[in-house]
């Protein structure tokens, strides 16, 4: 509640909260044991209601993390399912496995995202259950209408509490292939790049993700949101869905000819495909590809960081922090910022001993750093004070980043061209009609420099320029953008710029310093 004001300060209009429901925390709340109660670690339902009330006052939308693919194995529904109670028997995916050479083996070769077989033997029920993630995260059986209705009720419960929408976790895992007439499942074909049957990449995922039924679940949920809005008024409730699927499949989540889907199927094109050496043509392709495949009338969204990937500044280099913020906030549509990326937090150091992420703990000390999601999840660095201002307690769940004295909100508030202040300036620019609702043209000017033009009749033209590499570049914008006004002025500069805000520049000759990104504004109206 205290920090909602900060979201206002930095121009954030909606915030997605990681799961805070009752959970044994095997995957930090992504293993829910009660879908309608709050874990005491985070507070009470009254606390949540107070948070909602304050958020409404400030007009900051609250989006819940909805985790439909699995529950905790400590969830009452699983306990009852494991006990074979009629009502819950088929709530999860069960199979007795096979006896081979006198030994029992799992039903298929399917692998868990967190390593090892995706099947776990349950002594009580004398069957295996499926878990695409941790063994403490059994997968629901979405082919059972009761499960679907149960999940629909979960959505209705939180809508009634006033939430503005849901981020839907791991939706592409929701369905597995249907069992055959004998109740058996097929093996997935092997990938040849690893011989390790415990590695997630061991099989080619044709039966465990991206089944054709899955987007229809989201269409069903969208109807629930729409019905709720009809009955209760207020703004449109939103669905953001997480699906690490091929782009053509992601597009189905927007909806089809007859049904609306999610307003925001996460666009992971940039986070998945860009790397340090990607040139401007690669950026151009990924952005335009999304825009051209997106169904008519929908909005784009852009993601470069989240709690499952290393920090942007650690993946791409700290010199590119402003670049990504400027890019995401001047492209058309919704920009999604992982907390801390607005002021350029970097990965924290987390020793093997302090590592808590199951994705790393289920593997080996030798390469835990490559697997661990902990470094991107260290506490937000509010200030240079005790515990980086995160807590007055004496410990935190992950160590505070060692750089907190120099990378924190308080300090950056006072530095005119800090990442944080650039982020705030960008939010002001987003209020400009050309950036808010204008057309967009994305062009590589050469291999090193990307340009994004935003324009709307009767308004100023904006061009953001990104020098991706470490050379000084001089570019002629007329070479790629037709019909430009001849003169621009700097509407946003960074600490890499030698120009000042308001300086004028000719469209035919713009110089960019190494890794410099800027936003230019035409001096005349279109």
**SS3 category, 230:** helix
Q: Measured from the CB atom, is 8 or 307 closer to ligand NOJ?
A: 307
Which residue's CB is nearer to ligand NOJ, number 112 or number 494?
Answer: 112
Shorter beta-carbon distance to ligand NOJ: residue 170 or 429: 170
Closest separation in Å from C-beta 359 to ligand NOJ: 7
- Count CA within 13 A, CB hemisphere, residue 296: 1
Min separation Cβ 29 and ligand NOJ, Å: 9
419-429 helix and 321-330 helix, angle to the nearest 10 degrees:
10
Site string for ligand NOJ, 157-196 (x = CB under 6 A): ------------xx--------------------------
As a whole number of Å, the end-to-end CA separation of the chain is 43
Q: At closest approach, how far in Å is the CB of 215 from ligand NOJ?
A: 18
Q: Which of 410, 324, 339, 320 is nearest to 378 (CA)?
A: 339
Residue 434 · residue 336 · CB < 8 Å? no
Closer Cβ to ligand NOJ, 138 or 401, answer by number: 138
- If the CB atoms of residues 31 and 127 are measured against ligand NOJ, the closer one turns out to be 31
Q: Which residue is nearest to ligand NOJ (CB)?
A: 30
Which residues make beta-bridge pairs with 512?
Answer: 473
**160, containing H or E segment:** helix 145-160
Footprint on residues 238-267 left by ligand NOJ (CB under 6 A):
242
Q: Which x/- pattern over 306-345 shows residues binding ligand NOJ (rule: CB under 6 A)?
A: -xx-------------------------------------
- 334 touches 294 (CB < 8 A): no
Site string for ligand NOJ, 199-238 (x = CB under 6 A): ----------------------------------------
Pick from 35, 48, 77, 133 the residue near ligand NOJ by CB under 6 A: 133
- Of 5-34, binders to ligand NOJ (CB under 6 A) are 27, 30
Q: How far is the CB of 7 from ligand NOJ (least distance, A)?
A: 20
Closest contact distance (angstroms) between CB of 187 and ligand NOJ is 23
Which string of x and - marks every residue 433-472 that binds ligand NOJ (by CB under 6 A)? ----------------------------------------
Q: How far is CA 218 from the centre of its chain?
A: 17
Complete DSSP assignment for 339-371: TTGGGT--PPP--TTT---HHHHTS-GGGHHHH
Specify the length of the chain in residues: 526
Query: Least distance to ligand NOJ from the beta carbon of 134, Å?
Result: 8
111 belongs to the binding site for ligand NOJ (CB under 6 A): no
Q: Tell how strand 127-130 and strand 119-122 pair up.
A: antiparallel
Backbone angles phi, psi at 341, to 5 degrees: -70, -25
Contact 415, 246 (CB under 8 A): no
Nearer to ligand NOJ, 67 or 130 (CB): 67
Q: How far is CA 187 from CA 182, 214, 244, 387, 441, in A?
A: 15, 20, 21, 49, 45
Report in angstroms how near the CB of residue 287 gets to ligand NOJ at its nearest. 23
Q: 31-63 b/e with 16+ CB inside 10 Å = b?
A: bbbbbeebbeebeeeeebeebbeebeeeebbbb
Q: Which of 12, 63, 67, 484 binds ligand NOJ (CB under 6 A)?
A: 67
| Number of residues forming the site for ligand NOJ (CB under 6 A) | 9
Residues taking part in catalysis: 169, 242
Burial of 138: CB neighbours in 10 Å, binned 0-12, 13-18, 19+? buried
Specify whether the CB–CB gap between 323 and 331 falls below 8 A: no
Q: How far is the CB of 199 from ligand NOJ (least distance, A)?
A: 17
The nearer residue to ligand NOJ, 373 or 419, going by C-beta atoms, is 373
Q: Applying CB under 6 A, which residues contact ligand NOJ?
A: 27, 30, 67, 133, 169-170, 242, 307-308
């Amino acid at each position: 509640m205290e920090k909602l004001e900060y979201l206002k300060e930095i121009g954030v209009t909606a915030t997605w909260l990681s799961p805070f429901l009752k959970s044994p925390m095997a995957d930090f709340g992504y293993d829910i044991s009660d879908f309608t109660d709050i874990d005491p670690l985070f507070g009470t339902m009254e606390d949540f209601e107070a948070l909602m009330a304050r958020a409404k006052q400030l007009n900051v939308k609250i989006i819940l993390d909805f985790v439909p693919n699995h529950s905790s194995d400590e969830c009452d529904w699983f306990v009852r399912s494991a006990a074979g109670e009629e009502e819950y028997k088929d709530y999860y995916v069960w199979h007795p496995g096979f006896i081979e050479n006198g030994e029992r083996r799992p039903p298929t070769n399917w692998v868990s995202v967190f390593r090892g077989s995706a099947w776990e033997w349950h002594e009580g029920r004398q069957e295996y259950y499926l878990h695409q993630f941790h063994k403490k995260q059994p997968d629901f059986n979405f082919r059972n209408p009761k499960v679907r209705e149960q999940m629909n009720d979960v959505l209705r419960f939180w809508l009634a509490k006033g939430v503005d929408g849901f981020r839907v976790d791991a939706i592409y895992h929701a369905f597995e292939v249907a069992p055959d007439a004998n109740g058996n499942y097929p093996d997935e074909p092997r990938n040849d790049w690893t011989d390790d049957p415990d590695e997630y990449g061991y099989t080619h995922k044709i039966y465990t993700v991206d089944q054709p039924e899955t987007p229809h679940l989201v269409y069903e949920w969208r109807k629930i949101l729409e019905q709720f809005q009809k009955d209760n008024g207020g703004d449109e409730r939103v669905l953001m869905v997480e699906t690490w699927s091929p782009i053509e499949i992601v597009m189905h989540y927007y909806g089809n000819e007859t049904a609306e889907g999610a307003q925001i199927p996460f666009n992971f094109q940039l986070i998945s495909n860009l790397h340090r050496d990607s040139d401007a043509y690669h950026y151009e392709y990924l952005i335009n590809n999304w825009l051209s495949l997106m169904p008519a009338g929908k909005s784009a969204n852009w993601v470069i960081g989240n709690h499952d990937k290393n920090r942007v500044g650690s993946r791409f280099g700290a010199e590119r922090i402003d670049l990504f913020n400027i890019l995401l906030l001047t492209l058309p549509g919704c920009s999604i910022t992982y907390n801390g990326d607005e002021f350029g937090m970097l990965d924290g150091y987390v020793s093997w001993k302090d590592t808590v992420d199951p994705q790393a703990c289920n593997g080996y000390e030798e390469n835990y750093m490559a697997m661990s999601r902990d470094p991107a999840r260290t506490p937000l660095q509010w200030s240079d004070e005790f515990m980086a201002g995160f807590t007055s307690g004496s410990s935190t769940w992950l160590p505070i980043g060692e750089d907190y004295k120099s990378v924190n909100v308080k300090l950056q508030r006072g530095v005119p061209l800090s990442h944080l202040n650039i982020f705030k300036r960008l939010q002001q620019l987003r209020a400009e009609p050309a950036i808010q609702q204008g057309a967009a043209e994305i062009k590589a000017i050469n291999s090193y420099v990307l340009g994004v033009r935003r324009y709307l009749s009767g308004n100023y033209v904006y061009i953001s320029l990104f020098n991706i590499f470490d050379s000084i570049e001089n570019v002629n914008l007329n070479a790629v953008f037709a019909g430009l006004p001849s003169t621009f002025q700097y509407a946003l500069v960074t600490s890499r710029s030698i120009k000042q805000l308001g300086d004028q520049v000719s469209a035919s000759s713009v110089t960019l310093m190494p890794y410099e990104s800027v936003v230019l504004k035409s001096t005349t109206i279109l």
